[in-house]
């Protein structure tokens, strides 16, 4: 658990240091989509799904975020496969239903 928090913190710090750009690193984004597409959070979570169902699939997130630019919250997860890690976020609307998911941090998705 502590490793997940440390990785998420490092990823978030990198996002802050990179500035407020909403441009994604498309190389990492594409690799993440291919390498991590079979992970339960990526494969099973669908838009409209209840937050409780997401937590059953993915467990406790690495961090949570209250969105600033639209109502709701967002969970940051760190996916692991074969020693590789990838950030993945799942956003929830004000009714606690999935309205977004992507291979970027909640903070980055909120700014985009």
CB-based contact 77:92 (threshold 8 Å): no
pLDDT attached to residue 22: 39
CB-based contact 47:10 (threshold 8 Å): no
User: Any idea what the CATH number is for the domain that residue 96 is in?
Assistant: 3.30.1450.10
Query: To which residue do tokens 């990838």 refer?
Result: 86
Closest CA to 77 of 46, 25, 40: 40
- Residuewise pLDDT in 10s, the chain (112 residues): 555 555 445 554 444 434 333 334 444 445 556 788 889 999 999 999 999 999 999 999 999 999 999 999 999 999 998 888 899 999 999 999 999 999 999 999 988 7
CB atoms within 10 A of CB 55: 13
C-alpha 108/C-alpha 105 separation (Å) is 5
Model-level pTM? 0.71
Which domain, by its residues, includes 81? Answer: 2-111
Q: Which two tokens stand for residue 16?
A: 């802050």
Domain tally, the chain: 1
């Amino acid at each position: 658990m502590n490793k997940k928090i440390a990785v998420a913190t490092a990823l978030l710090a990198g996002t802050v240091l990179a500035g407020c750009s909403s441009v994604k690193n498309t190389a990492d984004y594409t690799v993440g989509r291919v390498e991590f597409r079979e992970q339960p959070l990526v494969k099973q979570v669908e838009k409209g799904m209840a937050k409780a169902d997401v937590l059953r699939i993915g467990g406790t997130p690495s961090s949570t975020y209250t969105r600033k630019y639209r109502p709701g919250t967002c969970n940051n997860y760190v996916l692991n496969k074969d020693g590789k890690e990838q950030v993945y976020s799942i956003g929830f609307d004000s009714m606690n239903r999935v309205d977004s998911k992507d291979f970027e941090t909640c903070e980055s998705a909120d700014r985009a």
